[in-house]
Amino acid sequence: MAKSALREIGEKLVAPAKGILAADESSSTIKRRFDAIGVESTEANRRNYREMLFTAKNMSQYISGVILYDETIKQNGASGTPLTKGLKDQNVIIGIKVDGGLKPMPGSAVEQYSEGLDGLPDRLAQYSKLGAQFTKFRVVFTVGAGTPTDRCIEENARTLARYATLSQAAGLVPMVEPEVLMDGSHSVQECQDATKRVLSEVFYRLVRDGADLGGLLLKTNMVLSGSEAKNRAVSREVGERTIQTFLDTVPASVPGILFLSGGQGDDEATVNLNACVNEANKAHAPWQVSFSYGRGLQAAPQKAWRGLEANKEAAQAAFLERSRLTSLARQGKLPR
């Protein structure tokens, strides 16, 4: 696929007022989410839940794309129609998670790397035939005593660069996701330092490997205090520190940066997104600032749904309301 075509898809994914739904939970993650609402994680229940989300009327007003899991992109709905058809019918772009999950980094008690490069070209070709137009690959970094280490940053950055070039060669837009985890008691300054180190290395590797920066997207964390920190940074500081970090590290040719909710509560993720967008606008940032939320869009509809068909409309309404509020934040227009 031509570079211009990759960029066109990327720009559609970060279209004004819109963001991405991350519905790519692994089997173990969706089980934990279902356990919390008293629903058994069977294939039928997972299908019914995701079909409920994907058929929410007018979701494309707020949602430009959806990241799917391997099971979901191959799954048919209750009527036998592919789940992807409901998305295509609403002009929502289909994405797919292609990393193989986190593994302990040899020699480290806390750091991790992500599998997924083995056999990736064949899987990318298969996903393209199934309708995917973009992909996602996640790596994580822990902030703590001596972490993230240079070794962890370099190895994961190399993996992301290799993934990105393979994805682009297959005609798919890569969403590169380096996440500095919110877990811990670290300060907002420590998060900013770690995020800057990570992003600097990621883009160094991307450029060195020949990735087309105009044909990829960055999905990453906001600069936040650790979840267990005593004095956590307020939204204004989060916005200022986050956008300054991006201005220092993210090339202007990248079409857009999308935030993950990363363990934040629904309201916190929305308020902080609003602050980041306003700060980006103030700085005349060269890239779009958007969202790619999983829990931030799904916690409310999961509680409303609870596995019951009778709750479908209420769950869809909850999903659309979270999407509407997040869309307002993505525009810097969240009501105070």
Q: Catalytic: which of 51, 111, 177, 237?
A: 177
Neighbours of 217 (CB within 10 A): 28
- Tell me the C-alpha distance between 156 and 217, whole Å: 17
Residue type, 79: S
- Tell me the C-alpha distance between 171 and 168, whole Å: 5
- Tell me the C-alpha distance between 153 and 197, whole Å: 8
CB proximity list for 237: less than 8 A, separation 6 or greater: 188
- Tell me the C-alpha distance between 16 and 261, whole Å: 19
For residue 301, give the nearest of 39, 8, 114, 16 by alpha carbon.
Answer: 39
Integer Rg of the chain from CA:
19
Q: Give the total residue count for the chain.
A: 336
> In the beta sheet, which residues pair with residue 173?
134
> In what helix (H) or strand (E) does residue 95 lie, and over which residues does it extend?
strand 93-97
Q: Catalytic: which of 219, 240, 279, 312?
A: 219
Asked if 268 is an active-site residue, the reply is: no
Asked if 115 is an active-site residue, the reply is: no
Is the CB of residue 176 less than 8 Å from the CB of residue 160?
A: yes
Residues marked active site are found at: 177, 219
